[in-house]
Amino acid sequence: MKLFNKKGVSPLIATVLLIAFAVALGVVVMNWGKDYVETTAKDAGEKADADLSCQMDIDIGIKEIGNVEKICYTANATDKILEFMLENTGRESIQGIRMVLIDSDDNIHQADNTSFELNAGSVSSKYIYDYNSTSLGTELQYVEIIPLVTVKGKTTPQACSSSSVQVESIGEC
């Protein structure tokens, strides 16, 4: 009977090899999982810090003079200009603004200006935004100004949507 004369791996060696393979696979999975969890936790922490900073430290608004908000627009055949003054009553400076403009035909324009800086507790001089090069019509119906702040661990300013200013009735200048 040639069937019983065949040599093979003994059951004990096979068991040891199987256990060693399972342990090696477990080590690989645990190392990958550890790196994944650390990266995810770091990202979540940075986002939480940014959100908390936006809600606690950033507070902007349109400057009011005589109970009238200082925001208006000029739109004619040659010029389309938005003018406003911002006030930062928060504890942190802002490093830019994101503007979202919507005209009466529901066309939307969004632009970031990272050169606009406003220190905590200060008021900006009149800011003039020329939107001639956009597809917006002559009548603005909505403006949202979102502050941009530098967050620890990031190189570019991040938007603080929770601290934005929305204006729905914008008069002509």
Please give the distance of CA 142 from its chain centroid, rounded to a whole number.
21
Mean pLDDT of the chain, nearest integer: 85
Residue 88 lies in a domain: yes
Residue 67 lies in a domain: yes
Which range marks the domain in which residue 146 is found?
A: 58-172
Write down the pLDDT at residue 103: 86
The stretch 84-108 carries a mean pLDDT of 90
The stretch 17-32 carries a mean pLDDT of 92
Residue 150 lies in a domain: yes
Residue 100 lies in a domain: yes
- pLDDT per position as a tens digit, 36-86: 888 888 888 777 777 777 888 888 999 888 888 888 888 877 788 889 999
Number of structural domains in the chain: 1
Is this model's pTM higher than 0.85 or not? no
Write down the pLDDT at residue 7: 64
Beta strand 71-75 with 171-172 is parallel
Q: Report whether 99 contacts 113 (CB < 8 A).
A: yes
